[in-house]
């Protein structure tokens, strides 16, 4: 049951966008899956914060199954992460 990612831009908030929670607080939307396709649900992902050369850094999600890191907002070409796990390629 594969679904194309980013196929519905405009109807769903992009990963890393701020979205309104049911309790009214703002939070960064968690990616549904890591880039290897594992579901990132409760207990399956380690949420952290990645300091970066850009302002504010990035929220980071580490897949506990394969270790793949996802960032929100996504890393840009000129992003230089300052500490923590290096980008795994
Ligand atoms: Zn994974
Ligand atoms: Zn950055």
Please compute the mean of the pLDDT values over residues 12-35 and round it to a whole number. Answer: 71
Give pTM, 2 decimals.
0.61
Which residues have a beta carbon within 5 Å of ligand 2, which is an ion? 52, 54, 79
If you compute the radius of gyration of the chain from its CA atoms, what whole number of angstroms results? 13
With left for phi above 0 and alpha for psi between -120 and 50, is residue 37 left, alpha or beta? left
| Residue 67 CA, ligand 1 centroid: distance in Å | 6
Nearest bound ligand to the CA of residue 72: 2
pLDDT reading at 25 higher than 80:
no
Tens of pLDDT, residues 5-23: 555 445 666 676 766 656 6
| Residue 37 CA, ligand 2 centroid: distance in Å | 23
Nearest bound ligand to the CA of residue 40: 1
Nearest bound ligand to the CA of residue 81: 2
List the single range of 5-19, 33-47, 60-74 with lowest mean pLDDT. 5-19
What is the predicted pLDDT for the residue at 8? 47
Query: What would the two tokens of residue 20 be?
Result: 């309104």
């Amino acid at each position: 049951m594969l679904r194309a990612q980013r196929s519905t831009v405009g109807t769903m908030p992009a990963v890393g966008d701020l979205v309104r929670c049911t309790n009214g607080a703002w939070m960064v939307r968690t990616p549904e899956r890591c880039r290897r396709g594992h579901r990132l649900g409760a207990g399956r992902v380690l949420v952290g914060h990645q300091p970066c050369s850009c302002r504010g850094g990035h929220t980071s999600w580490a897949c506990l199954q394969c270790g793949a890191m996802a960032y929100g907002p996504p890393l840009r070409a000129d992003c230089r992460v300052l500490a923590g796990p290096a980008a795994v390629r």
